[in-house]
Amino acid sequence: MSKSSSKATLLTFALATVVFISGAGADEIKLPDMGSPADAILSANDEVQIGRSIMRDIRNSGQVVEDPLVNEYINEVGNKVAAQTNDGDHDFTFFVIDDHRINAFALPGGYIGVHTGLLEASRSEDELAGVLAHEVAHVTQRHIARAIHANSRQSLLSTAIMLGAMIAGAAGGGGDVMQAGIAVAQGTAAQQQINFTRSNEHEADRVGIAALADAGFDPYGMASFFDVMSRQDSRAPDERAPEFLRTHPVTSSRIAEARNRARNYPQVRSEDSISYGISKIRTIIDRFETPKEAVAYFEKRPYQNQNELERYGRLLAYLRDGSYGKALDIVENLVDRNPEVIAYHIALGDTQVLLGRHAEAIDTFEEALKLFPRNVPLVIAYGERLLELQQPQKAHILLLDLLNNVPPTPDQARLIARAANEAGEMAESLYYLSEYRLMIGDLVGGINYLQQALRLPELQEIQRIRFEARIDFIREYMTEEQLRRMQHTPPPSQSARNVA
């Protein structure tokens, strides 16, 4: 999906959503509102539904980084901050977008996106946490719903256009797209809406800095990152300014205000976690077009002069370049020096597999699991290696234990479907593929896979009961159009392998 078509999809969805929420007549809008005034236009449940649909579009675009190590890290930091400002009414999902532009955004319903460019541009974990705290505050303070409520006196079409513009801007369209949509919707009142948006930014700063300090990060982290961005802006023409500045305008007065707020909290001397450095290294190495370029980058400094993270990057570059022997020397040293880092154990097991030392690799992963049971990146890496080593039954059991305790991502659901398929457990494979289709918003496809599973001659009675109950559950959430389409949709291929 192209970026332009993705934006159009988001805008179309937003317009349709507002029309659906607002109803057919003015009488519905005038009903008493016993909660937040914003609920009269956009309820918290509506926000969740909008955010979920946008997130499905983003996932389908292929831009979401599926690296388990990076995903676990960004969710760890994000949830640590969110726990300090969340009143329990919001569930948060943090994800990384493969985009070198420096930006971050908040979607309705608690979806927080961070570009790889921002992760690379941050100079410390405190700065990264500051950006996440700011975006979390946009969600907890319900800024999109409040912006719509502030314009509730405008026509329904005006409100719909503004919501669509705001969502398109948050999802990557940039501040210019957002403000253009507002201008179309409100004409001469555009400046008033822009000022309201700026007030949201200042409120997100205030709430975010408090959460940042309460979570144990340096409260100056947010102001520090703003300062970095403002200096980049002064060195580049406006059309090349970082996307972050287009969606989060930063002024000297805003930076000064953020610093003044940080002074109200105790000073924190924090050190970057090793996971922060590893996540940055993994995003950096992904930007190189060829393995040779990656090797050249990490060989710029002599090995003996490199720090631990630079050596980790060198190791990953060697693995991509096929220099497995060189990689083994580095990773064995890293594990010996710092055995608490899960990424090093994963890299050691991967290297041993690539060298054909399969028994040693199994031992490495098994020992790591004893140290870090049910760690998501470790289990996913081990499951993938087991499939490469033609041990699908063991991989299926391993992944099932994890995913019964940790909600899977769509990619992880496809992985366990592949493991079950290769282990000859077709019914379970079709069940996991059904769950994958549901995760990406395809309810019809989800039911079709379950119906295919019900036709298997080897199906056990307990499976039949479970699958039929799941179909009944899904149907409760389907529209009449989806139900009609399901009746005319051919069943999926008999082989789950093609889909997985």
Task: Decide: helix, strand or coil at residue 115.
Answer: strand
d(CA 341, CA 79): 21
Q: Are strands 104-107 and 111-115 parallel, antiparallel or unpaired?
A: antiparallel
| Residue 135 designated active-site | yes
d(CA 453, CA 420): 13
DSSP one-letter code for 374: T
Planar angle of CA 45, 193, 22, nearest 5 degrees? 35
d(CA 34, CA 16): 25
Task: Decide: helix, strand or coil at residue 498.
Answer: helix
224, 250 in Cβ contact below 8 A? no
Amino acid 476 reads E
The H or E element containing residue 107 is: strand 104-107
Planar angle of CA 254, 208, 230, nearest 5 degrees? 35
User: 125, 127, 205, 422: which is the annotated catalytic residue?
Assistant: 205
User: 47, 57, 126, 135: which is the annotated catalytic residue?
Assistant: 135
| 410 backbone dihedrals φ, ψ, rounded to 5° | -55, -40
| Residue 47 designated active-site | no
d(CA 274, CA 449): 42
What residues are annotated to the active site? 135, 205
